[in-house]
Amino acid sequence: MRSLSLVNRHRDQAADLQPLRIEEVQTFFAQHLSPTVLEVFPDWQGILLACEPLAISVWIVRTIEDGQQLHATTGHPALLLTDLLAQKGQDFAEAWKVLQPCLIFSHGGDEGSHEETVRKRTEEYG
């Protein structure tokens, strides 16, 4: 995977990273971003990663609401950073199988319910 884009939120809407260990977040993103990026944008909303083996891009977000908003705006699904970090140590295929049902899509539109959208996308990418 490689970093494609970073969306910065307004400072007054910054999510709290307390539940996440800062070192764990920095270690994960060090694979994809220069450490100075997170210093410049400490209140990031989402980071779009291209998953080359699956030919898709996925937002890595702090909250479900951020994921739904970014999906509605860009059409790319999202994953919570906490869900992604929980897969530490698994190979890519194992992690992707676990993470597919966790993909976040926006509510509304013509896609139907969140569960139906997840089912459709899992079949698409599975």
The pLDDT tens digits of the residues spanning 70-80 come to: 999 999 999 99
Q: Does residue 115 lie in a domain region?
A: yes
Q: Does residue 102 lie in a domain region?
A: yes
Q: Does residue 94 lie in a domain region?
A: yes
62 is in which domain, residue-wise?
A: 2-8+41-125
Q: Does residue 68 lie in a domain region?
A: yes
The pLDDT tens digits of the residues spanning 13-41 come to: 444 544 556 677 777 778 777 778 777 87
Q: Does residue 108 lie in a domain region?
A: yes
Q: Does residue 106 lie in a domain region?
A: yes
The dihedrals phi and psi of 85, each to the nearest 5 degrees, come to -65, -25
Q: Does residue 19 lie in a domain region?
A: no
What is the model's pLDDT at position 71?
Answer: 94
List helix spans (H) across the chain: 22-30, 35-40, 64-74, 81-85, 92-99, 114-125
Confidence of residue 4 (pLDDT cuts 50, 70, 90): very low
Structural domains counted in the chain: 1
114 Cβ contact list (under 8 Å, min separation 6): 105, 107
Instruction: Name the pTM for this structure.
Output: 0.66
Q: Does residue 83 lie in a domain region?
A: yes
Cβ atoms of 111 and 55 closer than 8 Å: no
Cβ atoms of 76 and 46 closer than 8 Å: no
